[in-house]
Structure 1
């Protein structure tokens, strides 16, 4: 966030500096209101650009074993351009390196799912995937697939993105 502020301030100063230099070359003084408006437009433009580029930049930084299965977008009236073209603010990522299967449970897979958010901590949840019934459940932190029985207190849901089942259930 601090880096975004520094980048926006530099963009504002650079745009004002270029316009002031142009006015100086013509021998005129730049109107103060024009410079203030130009700085404001530069700050808004750079901030919007950084927000739109966040998801693709973050995806490029992910290791190859991480697969983005869903992009969560938002729009609001404070950022009117986001109503026309929503901004991706969160990525749902599957860590294929964490994929585990157990011989006693051939139709089940366990995988870590990450929620990567802009300007927030990344959340990690271990999911148990029932490949046959296309449903999933969040595993307790201390649970593992090494036991013969599955944890009994799982709350199953079937509203996960289809890509989660594709990644977790492929042979």
Structure 2
């Protein structure tokens, strides 16, 4: 966040410098109100650009085994342009490097999922994906198991993100 503030301040100063050089070349004096307006426009433009580029920068830094399965965008009245194109503030990432299968239950795949938010802590969860039933469940840390070796008491969600199902089930098929 501090880096964003520094970048915005530098952009404001650079825009003011370009404006002053332009008026110097034209041999005229700029109106007094133009400096703050140019600086404000530069700050808003740079801030909006940084917010829109956040998700792409984070994706570029992810290791190859991490797959973005969902991008969650937000809209805000403080950023009216976000109603045209929402700003991605959260990435849901599946870690293919953590895929685990059990030969006795080949249709079930255990995978780690991370929820990476802008200016927020990263949330880590484990999901059990049923490839045959096309459903998934959050795998709690204190799960109990049945006599067949299956987790007991899971709450299955039939509306799992298709990208999560495809990522997890690509290995088991």
Measured in 1, the distance between the counterparts of 2:104 and 2:36 equals 68
1:104 CA drift (Å): 2.0
Matches within 5 A, 1:1-171: 1-142=1-142, 149-170=149-170, 171=173
Measured in 2, the distance between the counterparts of 1:23 and 1:136 equals 63
1:24 CA drift (Å): 2.8
* TM-score, normalised relative to structure 2: 0.91
Q: CA RMSD in A?
A: 1.8
Partner SS state of residue 32, structure 1: coil
Pair 1:98–1:148, CA change in 2 (3 A): farther
Partner SS state of residue 129, structure 2: strand
1:144 CA drift (Å): 9.7
4+ residue stretches of structure 1 with deviation over 4 A? Answer: 142-145
1:119 CA drift (Å): 1.1
1:148 CA drift (Å): 5.2
* TM-score, normalised relative to structure 1: 0.92
Instruction: Indicate if the aligned counterparts of 2:144 and 2:152 stay in contact, CA closer than 8 A.
Output: no
1:142 CA drift (Å): 4.8
